[in-house]
Amino acid sequence: MDALSETLRVVQLAGAIFINARFSAPWCYQSPAADVAAPFLEPGAERIIIFHVITEGECYVEMEDAPPMHVTAGDVLLFAQGDAHRMCSEPGVPAPTGARLQDILSRRPRKLIYGGGGTATKLVCGYLACDARPAKMLLTGLPPVVKVNMLGSRTGDWLMDSLQYGLAEARSPRPGGGALLAKLAEVLFIEVLREYMNEDHGERTGWLAGVNDRVVGAALRALHERPAHPWSVSELAQVGCTSRSVLAERFQQLVGSSPIQYLTQWRMLMASKMLREGSAPLTRIAEEVGYQTDSAFSRAFRREFGVPPSSWRRSKAGLSSFQPPG
């Protein structure tokens, strides 16, 4: 399995659509910072990633200390750092007042219709809930707003059509509409990341840039395919057909850590998933993530999470992965 797929498997995304809106100019929709909205969207989630899909028309995105961004039908906006922002028909339109955040976010998906009666814009708002550590690794290096247009490709057109179908099903009496939209939100997020990786954004840094890099990407693939192997930087350099010094420098530049530091972090993320989801003994988990003894594994886990794996497991007992609202 490739590095992106493996990481997404460990991240344990749970998605949902919470607003289906039709706005008519002039209009403005104020979206709070993700940590403010999180208690109303997914209580207990460590990280919330907000996204918007423009399904019809056009509008602008306003963020503090940034020029307005023009977006059109087919654009998907991913707010990787959770910043507060405004969606509006024209820059400078004031946001409405009086509506309570918990009321707006309480029903899924809530249909919003308002504005001044002018040109219409339709958009869908959703979120992904996930654990903070793997999300940080995955999203580091991304700009505050990731914009990808999904129209014109076979996958993108299918996703946009499926989103419309899912919204219709959510309003129908048939069961399962909410679960359908939740899965579509996850697929949309993954496709946005894949499209962003394929676009030319110049000299980028971050985990996704590392996956796309010839040298670092080869090392990441090896680490994810065989995480229990006792890798050395020299051996990873051979995998990438480069020198030890080139790999070490390039890996640090893009990923922000050394290859061996990254391997330890990845092993701990894998271990945390196994601890949360199962009852396997520590000895078996230690072996699967590359430690010969459970004591060595416990020391490494404590350095990363601040508590021994047994204590961490107990703290997560009874907590399953986030379930999207039905």
Q: What is the pLDDT of residue 102?
A: 67
- DSSP classification of residue 84: -
| Bridge partners (DSSP) listed for residue 115 | 24
Asked whether this chain's domains 3-198 and 213-316 adopt the same fold, the reply is: no
Q: Where are the domains of the chain?
A: 3-198, 213-316
Each of the 326 residues of the chain gets a pLDDT tens digit; together they read 688 888 888 887 888 888 899 999 999 999 989 988 888 888 888 889 999 999 999 999 999 989 999 999 999 999 988 999 999 999 999 988 766 666 666 656 788 899 999 999 999 999 999 888 888 888 888 999 999 999 888 888 999 999 988 888 887 878 888 888 889 999 999 999 999 888 866 678 899 999 999 999 999 999 999 999 999 999 999 999 999 999 999 999 999 999 999 999 999 999 999 998 888 999 999 999 999 999 999 999 999 999 999 999 988 775 544 443 33
> Which superfamily is assigned to 213-316 in CATH?
Homeodomain-like (1.10.10.60)
- pLDDT for residue 152: 84
Report how far residue 18's alpha carbon sits from residue 7's, in angstroms, rounded to the nearest whole number: 25
Q: What integer pLDDT is reported at residue 320 of this predicted model?
A: 46
Residue 88: phi and psi, rounded to 5, are -150, 160
pTM of the model: 0.86
Q: What's the DSSP call for residue 64?
A: T
Q: What's the CA gap between 51 and 127, in Å, rounded?
A: 6
Class of the CATH-defined domain 3-198: mainly beta
Local structure of residue 225 (DSSP, 8 states): H
Residue 100: predicted pLDDT:
67
In the prediction, which pLDDT does 201 show? 64
Q: First CA to last CA across the chain, in angstroms?
A: 31
Q: How far is CA 79 from CA 135, 150, 230, in A?
A: 13, 16, 37
* Cα gap 6→322, rounded to integer Å: 19
Q: How many residues does the chain have?
A: 326
